[in-house]
Structure 1
């Protein structure tokens, strides 16, 4: 079994994805409500609820094989204020990285580091933030690379996320773990541009990490919907009519097309402001929009179930949202809807973590544990 630290842990969704192959030695989050959810699902033996700037290297036990950090995205998001790593929230990355540096000074740097954040982390402040992250990782003796992975390849939710993986440069790498050129599946044009902006140590340390595409059968959106949800109520006919009235002609035609179908159709709706007018925008492509943290009414996703002349609507339930994140139904959610939705909107998709672990993190960890047991000196990776 391999070991890890989980920072910005939320409800432990990275831990859920890593599974029984990995042992958590330490978990940290600043939020008391998220800490309560973490404790409810994983216990509090390794949990520390405090600002990451108040965590010290001495608080971290033993030598972990990996450190996972899904640091706050608000200042890096395309919908954010553009503060980037200088912002109060996303700047928490530097508190995390100080811990990695302090562990390195003590001779117990994690062998791997994984960061997860929004797509905007590639482009915020004209790419300067990504460059700073890559330089920081390379400066501590890690190889570094990124992948943009959308949850849509694993679950019916559109949720592209950036995964930055750092691997100690003295570890062996499986041949299949990286490619010599970008892989179009995981390295879009924005990733290539971000790489091209790098220089010096960061450019030399870059690796095009690559994993196979998911071949497991995908769940349908319809299969995740609850008939009798506990956390939300179905809208009244008047409320549903108001939603329909908020739709522009294009989206109203989508509803009419769904009505013409012989089978029930499930759509998802977000409210957006277009030219100063709030609109309800619906999709019936079997994919939910990206779950967000609840900052207002427009951030909450609505579902619409259409069957002939019957049109019903309501907020997406907290259990449905959990299913869209790949969490099992026995995962304990907060009783309050907003707390549950915030926990999930801030989380990392469990099957994506599983895929990364199975096809990149575990092979690296297993290969190097075998080498160290044989007493071989680990050469610097090529």
Structure 2
């Protein structure tokens, strides 16, 4: 049997990639993709063959379409126009619930769009189509937001739709990538096929360190911090230390693991490394000061992709580095998704 899937809030396709790896090319087919951010769409389109089924009764005035078969604002797409599907993949935006963010939850507003309520668009679509399984991923903070009441609303919504929800917080470092990244994973089976229990994987793959994901060739000097920038980071850290705070840049041991990577400068500055391989310190960009001689650098976009378990065949050429850092900071750890998807596949095939 070939299972049909839809990919909502698709990002660069990390959840889809994990499911594709787990199910195999001949057992799963993505029939609909929605992603709002245009640069993420470019990376997605560079890496996936687009679905062969377009949206029914496509209305260009209603649907903001970035590229054929990758549709934009999900709030403007009629659920009746989406092709039938068996599996809903939905990494709905996490910023509204993140500990690192403002934690506005369902009241969160971003550029006129309520990111917190986008979960209910998942519910709206799945209420109409009744897929066999709904898979969601979000930040660990989702379970704690508003003293747990937000998560109770989400669980109650699944129950009202006729689904049995299983959920667990897992850490990417246990699944073969050197990154300390805790996320909550939710698997909701339609009640008529729901198992009595669902065992999430607890680990997969060998333990890895940052040394395992470093670029094989010496990275460009542009990734090495300038002396002036390094001074500003040191001053910033001292100011916070004097106030009793632990904020500031972090240089990671390459025989250890990274902290959770996130979009924005903080994700890079808290995951600096020392790489002494650079011999040519000639600046390749306009910097203040000189390229530092201690070998302190930020990790490259390819290294961030590896931190999330993306294969080296994943094409990063469609957008600039700044967009790639944001995309992988917002992405999922593919090996975790694959390990869960393998368990989901067993349940579905048993039906």
Q: TM-score, normalised by structure 1?
A: 0.73
**Are the aligned partners of 2:252 and 2:272 in contact in 1 as well (CA < 8 Å)?**
no
**2:157 alignment counterpart:** 136
Indicate whether 1:61 and 2:75 are aligned: no
Equivalent in 86, 99, 103 of residue 82 of structure 1? 103
Helix, strand or coil: the match of 2:272?
Answer: strand
After TM superposition, give the deviation of residue 335 of structure 1 in Å.
Answer: 3.3
Please list the CA deviations of residues 38-70 of structure 1 after superposition, one character each: whole Å capped at 9, or x if unmatched: 1111133363331111122233212x2210110
Q: How many pairs are equivalent?
A: 303
After TM superposition, give the deviation of residue 219 of structure 1 in Å.
Answer: 2.8
Q: 1:35 to 1:132 in 2, by over 3 A?
A: same
For residues 59 and 232 of structure 1, what CA distance do their matches in structure 2 show? 46
Alignment of 1:324-363 (within 5 A): 324-333=307-316, 334-358=318-342, 360-363=343-346
**1:72 alignment counterpart:** 93
After TM superposition, give the deviation of residue 352 of structure 1 in Å.
Answer: 0.4
After TM superposition, give the deviation of residue 291 of structure 1 in Å.
Answer: 1.0
For residues 335 and 51 of structure 1, what CA distance do their matches in structure 2 show? 21
Alignment of 1:256-271 (within 5 A): none
**Are the aligned partners of 1:272 and 1:298 in contact in 2 as well (CA < 8 Å)?**
no
Please list the CA deviations of residues 194-237 of structure 1 after superposition, one character each: whole Å capped at 9, or x if unmatched: xxxxxxxxxxxxxxx32343242133210211242359432345
For residues 118 and 32 of structure 2, what CA distance do their matches in structure 1 show? 18
Q: Structure 1: which 5+ runs fail to align?
A: 104-108, 179-208, 249-270, 369-382
**1:229 alignment counterpart:** 219
For residues 123 and 156 of structure 1, what CA distance do their matches in structure 2 show? 25
**2:261 alignment counterpart:** 291
Q: 1:66 to 1:234 in 2, by over 3 A?
A: same
Q: Bigger shift: 85-94 or 26-35?
A: 85-94
Indicate whether 1:300 and 2:271 are aligned: no
Please list the CA deviations of residues 85-132 of structure 1 after superposition, one character each: whole Å capped at 9, or x if unmatched: 2321122111221111222xxxxx101011110001001111111001
Say which structure is richer in strand.
1
Q: Bigger shift: 210-219 or 32-41?
A: 210-219
For residues 85 and 242 of structure 1, what CA distance do their matches in structure 2 show? 37
Indicate whether 1:34 and 2:34 are aligned: no
**1:171 alignment counterpart:** 193
**1:159 alignment counterpart:** 181
Q: 1:75 to 1:367 in 2, by over 3 A?
A: same
**1:181 alignment counterpart:** none
Equivalent in 284, 302, 305 of residue 319 of structure 1? 302
For residues 354 and 233 of structure 1, what CA distance do their matches in structure 2 show? 31
For residues 236 and 80 of structure 1, what CA distance do their matches in structure 2 show? 29
**Are the aligned partners of 2:173 and 2:207 in contact in 1 as well (CA < 8 Å)?**
no
Please list the CA deviations of residues 128-154 of structure 1 after superposition, one character each: whole Å capped at 9, or x if unmatched: 110010000011111112110110101
Superposed CA RMSD in Å reads: 2.6
**Are the aligned partners of 2:96 and 2:102 in contact in 1 as well (CA < 8 Å)?**
yes
For residues 347 and 221 of structure 2, what CA distance do their matches in structure 1 show? 42
